[in-house]
């Protein structure tokens, strides 16, 4: 049922049919913080520009330079992917 062609990353839970997206994002953020990452919330991303050293993230509150970017855009993940030049095969649906 699943083709892995073109998949860069993902989460597979063989026995599950529901993922608590909020809890998952908070768990990832907590793990990232424990490993030294800074997690910035409530700051809308306007542009993503790849540089020789990583990424330039243009936000409402200024520009952030970083080595890695995690797409935690939720319903807007497809649009965030497009900012990075990636077409994600996702389609958010009401109550899905």
Reply yes or no on whether the pLDDT at 2 is more than 80: no
pTM for this structure? 0.66
Q: How far apart are CA 36 and CA 52, in angstroms?
A: 22
User: SS3 helix, strand, coil % of the chain, rounded to 5?
Assistant: 25, 20, 55
In whole numbers, what is the pLDDT of the chain averaged over residues? Answer: 88
The pLDDT score that the predictor gives to residue 95 is 63
């Amino acid at each position: 049922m699943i083709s892995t062609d073109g998949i860069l990353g993902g989460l597979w839970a063989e026995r599950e049919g529901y993922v608590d997206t909020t809890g998952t994002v908070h768990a990832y953020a907590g793990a990232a913080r424990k490993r030294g990452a800074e997690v910035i919330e409530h700051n809308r991303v306007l542009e993503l520009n790849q540089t020789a050293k990583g990424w330039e993230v243009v936000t409402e509150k200024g520009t952030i330079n970083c080595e890695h970017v995690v797409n935690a855009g939720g319903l807007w993940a497809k649009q965030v992917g497009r900012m990075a030049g990636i077409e994600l095969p996702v389609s958010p649906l009401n109550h899905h």
